């Protein structure tokens, strides 16, 4: 069985992919934000807090596992692959400057989910050289200018995203500058989903904001 066939068996709903931001969630909190968001249509959650210590991230991650219990929504850990097991998460998401795909899988084991960030066609080419059944999806972007991640790569634009998605054998999730007005164009460009941070974190009505994103995707 090829890597792509094996990955296809691990059916993922990437349509509304929520990346947490502890600072933006503010007093409402990450766990409460995730709880409200999953009730309104979020299909995947990525735990991201680059300022947290490992112990703090494990505590936060375990609280999200409790929130997600009884749902089919996976929790992925950003960057810190070694914390996936103590958190009890279903996998990890790594960037181009993080652990290699091979090193990540050695820590995760063969059954965990793994997402990889990609900003260029060269990144897709490099990813194709990995062994079978290694990557489950690509996170592509930023597509447009964004303010959440100050050290992000330059935006690739809608056309750049479309070229990467067309070249990728894996489903591609668009991230960076996503709003409801841009979602239809991304879906037409080949997106398997949209990843959002500030469109959910810190919103006055998290459920309403999430519902708008979900509705824009479904429409």
Q: What is the DSSP letter of 105?
A: H
Segments of the chain with pLDDT less than 50: 1-9
DSSP element (H, E) containing 117: strand 113-118
pTM metric for this prediction: 0.92
Domain residue limits at 162: 3-218
Q: Are 191 and 173 in contact (CB under 8 A)?
A: yes
Q: Are 52 and 22 in contact (CB under 8 A)?
A: yes
Q: What pLDDT, on a 0 to 100 scale, did the predictor assign at position 6?
A: 38
Give per-residue pLDDT as tens, 30-85: 999 999 999 999 999 999 999 999 999 999 999 999 999 999 999 999 999 999 99
Q: What CATH number does the domain containing 199 carry?
A: 3.20.20.70
Quick one: CA dihedral 147, 153, 158, 161, positive or negative?
negative
**How many structural domains compose the chain?**
1
**CA–CA dist 139, 109 (Å, integer):** 21
């Amino acid at each position: 069985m090829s890597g792509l066939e094996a990955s296809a068996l691990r059916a993922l709903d990437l349509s509304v992919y929520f990346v947490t931001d502890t600072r933006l969630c503010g007093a409402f909190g990450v766990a409460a934000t995730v709880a409200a968001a999953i009730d309104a249509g979020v299909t995947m959650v990525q735990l991201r807090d680059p300022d947290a210590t490992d112990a703090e991230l494990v505590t936060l991650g375990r609280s999200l596992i409790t929130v997600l219990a009884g749902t089919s929504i996976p929790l992925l850990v950003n960057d810190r692959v070694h914390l996936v097991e103590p958190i009890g998460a279903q996998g990890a998401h790594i960037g181009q400057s993080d652990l290699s795909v091979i090193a990540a899988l050695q820590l995760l084991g063969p059954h965990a989910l793994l997402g990889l960030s990609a900003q260029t066609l060269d990144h897709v080419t490099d990813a194709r050289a990995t062994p079978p059944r290694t990557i489950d999806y690509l996170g592509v972007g930023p597509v447009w200018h964004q303010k959440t991640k100050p050290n992000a790569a330059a935006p690739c634009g809608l056309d750049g995203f479309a070229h990467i998605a067309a070249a990728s054998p894996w489903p591609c999730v668009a991230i960076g500058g996503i709003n409801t007005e841009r979602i239809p164009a991304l879906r037409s460009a080949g997106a398997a989903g949209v990843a959002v941070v500030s469109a959910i974190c810190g919103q006055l009505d998290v459920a309403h904001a999430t519902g708008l994103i979900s509705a824009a995707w479904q429409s």
